[in-house]
Amino acid sequence: MKIISLLVALAAVTLMTGCGPTLSLHPLYTDKDLASDLPLEGKWADAENEEVWTIHKSGDGFEGTSPGTSDPEKVGIHVVRLGELRFLDITSQDTSSLDIPGHLFVKVWMEGEGLRVQALDSDWLKRKIREAGLPHVELEDEQVILTAPTPELQKFVALYANEPKAFESDVGKFHRVR
Amino acid sequence: MRSILMIAALAAAALATGCGVTLSVHPLYAEKDLASDLQLEGKWTDDEAKDIWAVRKDGDVYVATCPTDKDSEPIEMRLVRLGEHRFLDLTSKNTPSLSIPGHLFAKVSVTGDELQIQMMDSKWLEQKARETGFPYVEADKQVILTAPTSDLQKFVLLHAADPDAFESAEKLHRVR
């Protein structure tokens, strides 16, 4: 499901090309910001039915797995309410003891029974973070790591939530597998 | 086995208890600081000889694996020259795509067939960062150093001879 595979692939590709995805050290949510009004649980497939992801409830969020992929990565998912919009805060569940967990943010919504996700545009995000002076560090490979605390992250994301340039033009479309 | 061999266990235990190991987002080295004048390659074990760790060189990187422990993680090590001292910069070899490689630092020396490693003390590092304003972020109870490499080097070198800054030395023996 591209809700995850798109992003994981994006992350993998960007790592391969020497520039990692923009991740945050802090989550986009506090407990009070978590939403449960999206029917995420179940099996989801992309348009080509190439990947089937299973999502189940786990604690105050969800856990996603795709056993069929060649390099499966278990991810944690939290649905975040920012005003009228919903975002996913996605983290790896396979982090080793020497890794620092990163949070990736994507916009999510339902279209009928279909699930839609849209990733933040990486180039736009980097430029905007620098312009806005949002606390961050830049690694040697130009990967940007957000260090801003959750309230600042929320303000930043909410401010640009309806800005088309802030998001990838490609919307991930998924359908439920019954 | 302590040091590199115990890092994974140490870090895992620390994470399990909610007190994270103090990691850095930046490495301790620039390319010009990498050294290869210690004979790290080979097989190493501790006094108990419970596990054997294999260290091989791959370009500028030393990769440590523990074939005798299926749960151990491969670790990448860079040997860093800071003044007269040698340090290891340790990272995971298999960082997931949604994670950030963390860097852990240790003082290292090799004398004959003995490898001595002293991990930087996470608690001391955390306390020092809080006291001195050394750049860090606290996320999910874990202190993460955000200072750039040049500042990390100055900081580590400044405290290189401070016994409080390091854990007790762990000694490994070469396996012939």
Interface of B with A in 123-142 (CB under 8 A): 137, 139-140, 142
pLDDT digits (tens, 9 = 90+) for B121-134: 999 999 999 999 99
Q: How confident is residue A15, by pLDDT bands cut at 50, 70 and 90?
A: very low
pLDDT at A11 over 70: no
CB contact under 8 A, B98 and A92: yes
Asked whether residue A175 is assigned to any structural domain, the reply reads: no
CB B106 within 8 A of CB B165: no
Q: Mark yes or no for CB contact B25/A11 under 8 Å.
A: no
CA A157 to chain centroid, in Å, comes to: 12
| Domain annotation covers residue A46 | yes
Number of domains present in the structure of chain A? 1
B21 CA to chain A: closest CA distance, Å?
8
* pTM, entire model: 0.88
Q: How far is CA B77 from CA A69, B29, B60, B112, B117, in A?
A: 30, 11, 9, 20, 12
| Averaged pLDDT for residues A29-33 | 97
B22 touches chain A (CB under 8 A): no
Closest Cβ–Cβ partner in A26, A94, A95 for B139:
A26
Domain carrying residue B112: 4-174
Find the CB nearest A99 among B26, B92, B148: B92
Domain hosting A22: range is 5-169
**Cβ <8 Å between B100 and A92:** no
Per-residue pLDDT tens over the stretch B93-104: 888 888 999 999
Instruction: Tell me whether residue A174 is in a domain.
Output: no
Count of structural domains within chain B = 1
